[in-house]
Structure formats: structure tokens, C-alpha cells
Structure 1
Amino acid sequence: MSRWDELGDDELMAELAEAVAETVDDPEVTERRRLAASAAFTWRTVDEELAELLHDSALDAGAAVRSSGDSPRSLSFIRGAVTIEIEVTGSSLLGEVIDDDASDEPAAVSLQRPGAEDRVTETDASGFFRFDDVAPGPVRFVVVRGGWSLTTPWATL
């Protein structure tokens, strides 16, 4: 194997194809890991799809001192004309997809967690969605509507 930083594009693609072929029957490489690796490699439109964290109430100055664990937490993510607002209360998440270029079509919202199956729901006519029984830990959201998708960065609940 060559040093990766010394390979041209065609040589790198050949090395990657060889590595994938070698691991197809490897029992230690799970299908989920194989799919994640493939997705990471093929996600070439990351700048067009990845939202940025606009606001997290847990990061407000002094929030840990002034607020109790019972008060709702709010998260806002934005990318272009699309904003995702999420309110976390206990184990429930209430969210809204706000699309300045909105269509009447509902959006599919996936809640993703490491090592767990994705949970998927659709927005209602106003763009609202809800997930119940969400345990603490890392999450991210993927919103798909029509010809676009948006992925939030990971956040820890």
C-alpha cells in the first residue's frame, strides 16, 4: 500500500476499491460500519447539506447555574433558507422545519443515534414534528423534502 497523500485521484480510487473488496467477507466489518464508511466517502455535497448550529440554550452564558434541569432546552440549526427549531423537554423533542421556499410537501425528519436504528417521522402541514421517549446522548437530525436534504451536526441531549 502506498502513502495516501502521495496518490493521485485514480490511484486512490483503485486502492479504495481494493480495500472494499478485501472486507466484503470480513465478519468483523459489520454492514452498518460498511454503509457508514461508504456514506462518509460519498458525501460530496457536505457544504450544501450540513446545517450549522445557530443557537443552543444549554450554551448560554450561565445557563448551568441559573437554570434547572426541568426547563426546556432549545436548539436552532440553519442552512440557507431552512431553519430547524427543536425544543427538548424531558424525553420529548418537539421540532419545526421552517423553509422560506416552502412547498406543501411534508418533510421526512430522521433522528439518528450512534449504534441505533434511525427514527423517522413526517412534518405536519405547519412543519412541526415530534419524537417521544428520547434518551440522553448524542443525536443528529436529517431532514429530506423534495429535492434537498439537510443534516445537523451532532448534539448531546
Structure 2
Amino acid sequence: MNDAVNNPMNDDELMALLGEAVAEEAVVSDRRRTAARAAFTWRSVDAELAELLHDSALAAGAAVRSDGDESRTLSFGHSGLTLEIEVEGEVLLGQVIGTTGGASAATEPASVLLERPDADAQSAVADASGFFRLEGVRPGAVRFVVEQGGWSLTTPWVTL
């Protein structure tokens, strides 16, 4: 049987035992603390993803009228920033509109990364107006990561 049931502690013994447990906090390694903090940041990952605002492939009747040669447009937004994408064949044209990083971010060009789960990422740097171009874009699952002046925007995965 449990010793605590057979031999109940008095208040002083209980407080001493609790004090020992609190003192063990110092034994936790920095590596474990860092891992715990990193795991905690995942609590808001969905709130940090850009929202798909428009996808021409989802428009009513798009599948009926499409002959497969038309361009596809996508629009993502988050916190005052919009990422506009147009895909025609293997060429992707895009524009980053707005900034969330303040005046210093406006002077830095935005970098755009097209990520794939099964291939190397492709990158481009937007010009002063936010325009960028990627070539050799194959169909499949992709997401975009836009970075500028210390802020970033990540889109959900979409299939091109």
C-alpha cells in the first residue's frame, strides 16, 4: 500500500517535499527549455497562415469552361499584406502588395520562396513594386513563404 495512506505527512513534511519539487526546476536543461518554448509557439500556427482569398480554379463553372490552357489566379492575404499569383503553364507571375514591417521593410525587397514537399524550393526577389517571376513551375502541391524586413507570410498548401 501507499506509504502516504499508512503514514500521512504533516504540513511541514508536505511543504518540504513541495520545496524539493520546486528546486528541481533548476535541473531542467537549457536544451529542454528551448524545445518546450518551440513547441509552445505551435499553438498559434493557424493564425499565422495567410488566408486563401481567391482561387480561379474554385470559381463557379471554372471546371466546365476550362480547357486547361487558361491561366490560374490565386490571392492570399494576412495582416494587410496580399500575395497575388498568376500561373500560366510553367510560368508563375506574382506580386506582393502592402507591407507589415514598417518603413524599414518598405526599403527592402521581398523574397518569395515556393516550397514543395517533394522537391527543392524555388526563390525569387520582388522588384520595388513587389512583382516577381518564377519559371519551370510544375503542377503539384506548393506553398509560398514571403519574407521582408523581419516579417514573413506563409500560405497554406495548394495544388497547382
AA in 1 matched with 2:74: L
Q: What does 1:10-21 correspond to in 2, within 5 Å? A: none
Supply the RMSD in Å over aligned alpha carbons: 2.7
User: What count of residue pairs does the alignment treat as equivalent?
Assistant: 125
AA in 2 matched with 1:153: P
Q: Distance in 2 between matches of 1:143 and 1:104?
A: 15
Please tell me whether the aligned partners of residues 99 and 106 of structure 2 are also in contact (alpha carbons under 8 angstroms). Answer: no
AA in 2 matched with 1:154: W
Q: Deviations over 1:39-69 (max 9, x none)?
A: 8885455245310100000000110101221
Q: What does 1:25-64 correspond to in 2, within 5 Å? A: 43=42, 45-47=44-46, 49-64=48-63
Q: What secondary structure sits across from 1:77 in the alignment?
A: strand
Please tell me whether the aligned partners of residues 114 and 121 of structure 2 are also in contact (alpha carbons under 8 angstroms). Answer: yes
Q: Distance in 1 between matches of 2:39 and 2:91?
A: 29
Q: What secondary structure sits across from 2:139 in the alignment?
A: coil
Q: Distance in 2 between matches of 1:156 and 1:40?
A: 28
AA in 2 matched with 1:128: F
Please tell me whether the aligned partners of residues 86 and 95 of structure 1 are also in contact (alpha carbons under 8 angstroms). Answer: yes
Q: 1:78 matched to which residue of 2?
A: 77
Q: Distance in 2 between matches of 1:93 and 1:75?
A: 11
Alignment gaps of 5+ in structure 2: 1-24
* Structure showing the higher helix proportion among its residues: 2
Q: 2:8 matched to which residue of 1?
A: none
Q: Distance in 2 between matches of 1:71 and 1:40?
A: 43
Change (3 A) 1:105 1:59: same
Q: What secondary structure sits across from 1:46 in the alignment?
A: helix
Q: 2:20 matched to which residue of 1?
A: none
Q: 1:119 matched to which residue of 2?
A: 122
Please tell me whether the aligned partners of residues 109 and 123 of structure 1 are also in contact (alpha carbons under 8 angstroms). Answer: yes
